Amino acid sequence: MDNPITSLDFVLTPFDPQRLAFLWGPFDDNLRQIERRYRVQISYRDNEVHLVGLTAQLEPVKQILELLLAETVNVQGKAIALTPEQVHLVIQQQQQDPDEQGSAEVSIKTRKGSVKGRNANQSQYVKNIRQHDVTFGIGPAGTGKTYLAVACAVDSLEKGEVRRIVLTRPAVEAGEKLGFLPGDLTQKVDPYLRPLYDALFEMLGYEKVEKYLERGVIEIAPLAYMRGRTLSDAFIILDESQNTTVEQMKMFLTRIGFNSKAVITGDVTQVDLPRGQYSGLKHAMDVLSDVPELSFNFFKAKDVVRHPVVQKIVLAYEAFDAKKQAAADAAKAARLAAESAPAAQSDTPGTSAIAD
């Protein structure tokens, strides 16, 4: 056999019982996740690990365990528990092509720790945000578009590169009629902006975010309230931009003032605008693609960093849409051929539509 079942023994260092316990996970859950993804058997005694599986799978599993052990300690040197999300992300990073792994060494320092680009597209996205004043992040849900943009915004604020963060998104209902929501303006728009709050809380902590909101250092508002303003010395993020109209997108892009950065994120496959309205994000892709000062970053299903099944769901939808489009194109081509056939027949010399 070209790839027989063999075993591999190695020692994890440094030897720290608490960090090793965090590596194994509750009831060895982290190991079970790795075993399912690589179809190997993992056993251990203290820091001595024994692997059994296909030869090609053993070295990647060893590297994953070493990477995960490194993540069981924070910047202060204190042992910290791993989450299932961290295990999944390290596995996904390990499964990339070698060329992509080498280009994924980009991290953002926040008070809660480092936020890393987990693949080549994410790393390039972060680089483009740092190098360009206007950056578009376009792709399916779960690819880190908004999360990385917020991380870059927090990093810029903490370094003193900008004086405030402005987060906005269009308040468009996702196929549901919510009616008249109770409360003041903040309470009405909060449900639409919750993903932005969640990312801020994770990176800065609840108390810090509340303090910044009170002082106006962080501003979260619906897109409609951007009209007429000039946003200078700010890091501006427009989330869910596929639900902007053409007019709204133009309005937003012309709000950018001096010493400001803007990041526009969206998924063109999830437009919730009323039927007949063209997405401002799609229009911007057509109009602005040749402007050199702007950066367009396109994510794919392989860049999804949520639950593994999300990647499969995105791929299934893409395959279905491609099949549907191919059928529509074939039907259109057949219709055009049928319409042109009588004309071509009547124009042919020496033929007649009337039988003798």
- Secondary structure of 146-213 in the HEC alphabet? HHHHHHHHHHHHHCCCCCEEEEEECCCCCCCCCCCCCCCHHHHHHHHHHHHHHHHHHHHCHHHHHHHH
Which of 33-37, 130-134, 175-179, 306-310 is the least confident region?
Answer: 175-179
What is residue 218's predicted lDDT score, i.e. its pLDDT? 92
pTM value > 0.85: no
Cβ atoms of 5 and 54 closer than 8 Å? yes
- Domain annotation for the chain: domains and CATH numbers: 1-95 (3.30.1370.10), 97-299 (3.40.50.300)
The mean predicted confidence, pLDDT, of the chain is 82
What is residue 333's predicted lDDT score, i.e. its pLDDT? 83
User: Tokens 């039988």 sit at which residue?
Assistant: 355
Tens of pLDDT, residue by residue over 248-298, are 999 999 989 888 999 999 998 888 888 888 999 999 999 998 888 899 999
**Neighbouring C-beta atoms of residue 186, cutoff 10 Å:** 11
What is residue 230's predicted lDDT score, i.e. its pLDDT? 86
User: Residue 174 above 50 pLDDT?
Assistant: no
Secondary structure (3-state) at 6: strand
Secondary structure (3-state) at 235: strand
User: Residue 186 above 70 pLDDT?
Assistant: no
User: Residue 344 above 70 pLDDT?
Assistant: no
Tens of pLDDT, residue by residue over 137-169, are 999 888 888 889 999 999 889 888 899 999 988
User: Residue 121 above 80 pLDDT?
Assistant: yes
pLDDT class of 307 with cuts at 50, 70, 90: low
Which of 15-24, 224-233, 308-317 is the least confident region?
Answer: 308-317
What is residue 355's predicted lDDT score, i.e. its pLDDT? 44
Tens of pLDDT, residue by residue over 16-57, are 999 999 999 999 999 998 998 888 999 999 999 999 998 888
Which of 105-114, 125-134, 241-250, 260-269 is the least confident region?
Answer: 105-114
Helix (H) or strand (E) holding 219: strand 218-222
User: Residue 102 above 90 pLDDT?
Assistant: no
Dihedrals phi, psi of 233, to nearest 5 degrees: 50, 45
Tell me the two tokens of residue 140: 């399916």
User: Residue 179 above 90 pLDDT?
Assistant: no
27: left (phi over 0), alpha (psi -120 to 50) or beta: left
pLDDT class of 356 with cuts at 50, 70, 90: very low
pLDDT class of 324 with cuts at 50, 70, 90: confident
Identify the residue with better confidence: 172 or 126.
Answer: 126
Residue 68, classified by CB atoms within 10 Å of its CB into exposed (0-12), middle (13-18) or buried (19+), is buried
Q: End-to-end CA distance of the chain, in Å?
A: 75
